[in-house]
């Protein structure tokens, strides 16, 4: 197991991509802190499934949009698991709307969680990683941060901020032995994007993807697992796109 002895914290780990990431890291030997904001029961279910497979995991509550709560979350993960080697910034929300109809709260709230959470948790974990002279940070971003799509301006802007932050953080942290990379998923059916992947909308979007199918949470988790392990030890400031080729196509930028 190439992650044997490692400890990971996965924000937003109670469901969707986060839960798949927790399972993938644990399956390869890492102890995992499963973060949740409101879904305690779901987080404990992820922990139970990991323990049933012989792994080690704990559920840790905390709102990553709050800098104090994010710092406490990191401290609690270290306290319960004894160390921390890997941070996966996965927590995210969406409030889709056309710009014309969008309320100020809709873009502020999305930015606070999607980018604020990445910043706060990275800021909180850096002293620990710097003291060790090692650490891995993986930001779960989106192809939306690199492309345009109708109704996604706040979400895309938040992920664009994550991508820019990833580059800068990688440059600042490299001299301390810390790697910072990002995974950019395309369309993956989860609760977060249910409105885009179901029904006629989903069928029309699927036609715009070169591989003609949506991604799976496990495929995103496999990319995170690669960036977390020694196989990617010479990668930092890199973006791993997992989207079935969607970002290579011109596309329509909307459900056709």
Whether 100 is catalytic: no
Query: Do 24 and 225 contact (CB within 8 A), yes or no?
Result: yes
CA distances from 23 to 26, 29, 43 (A): 5, 10, 12
CA distances from 216 to 29, 43, 169, 244 (A): 22, 20, 28, 10
> Tokens standing for 61?
């509550």
Q: Pick left, alpha or beta for residue 192 (phi over 0 → left; psi -120 to 50 → alpha; otherwise beta).
A: alpha
Which of 36, 100, 155, 234 does the annotation list as catalytic? 155
Query: In this structure, how many other beta carbons lie within 10 angstroms of the beta carbon of residue 212?
Result: 10
Chain CA centroid to CA 32, Å? 14
d(CA 11, CA 86): 11
The pairing of strands 57-61 and 86-89 is unpaired
The pairing of strands 239-242 and 178-185 is parallel
d(CA 191, CA 211): 22
d(CA 216, CA 69): 30
Indicate which residues carry an active-site annotation: 155
């Amino acid at each position: 197991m190439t992650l044997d002895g490692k400890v990971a914290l996965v924000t937003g780990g109670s469901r969707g991509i986060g839960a798949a990431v927790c399972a993938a890291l644990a399956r390869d030997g890492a102890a995992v802190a499963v973060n949740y904001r409101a879904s305690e029961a779901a987080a404990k279910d992820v922990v139970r499934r990991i323990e049933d497979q012989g792994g080690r995991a704990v559920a840790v509550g905390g709102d990553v949009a709050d800098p104090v709560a994010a710092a406490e979350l990191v401290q609690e993960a270290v306290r319960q698991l004894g160390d921390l080697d890997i941070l996966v910034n996965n927590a995210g929300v969406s409030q889709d709307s056309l710009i014309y109809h969008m309320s100020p709260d809709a873009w502020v709230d999305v930015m606070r969680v999607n980018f604020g959470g990445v910043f706060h948790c990275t800021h909180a974990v850096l002293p620990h990683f710097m003291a060790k002279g090692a650490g891995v940070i993986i930001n779960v971003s989106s192809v939306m941060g690199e492309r345009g799509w109708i109704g996604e301006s706040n979400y895309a802007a938040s992920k664009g901020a994550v991508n820019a932050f990833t580059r800068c953080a990688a440059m600042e942290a490299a001299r301390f032995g810390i790697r910072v990379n990002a995974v950019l998923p395309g369309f993956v059916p989860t609760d977060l994007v249910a409105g885009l992947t179901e029904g006629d909308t989903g069928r029309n979007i699927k036609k715009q993807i070169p591989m003609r199918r949506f991604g799976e949470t496990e495929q995103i988790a496999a990319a995170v697992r690669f960036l977390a392990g020694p196989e990617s030890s010479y990668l930092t400031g890199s973006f791993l796109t997992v989207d079935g080729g969607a970002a290579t196509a011109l596309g329509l930028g909307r459900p056709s």
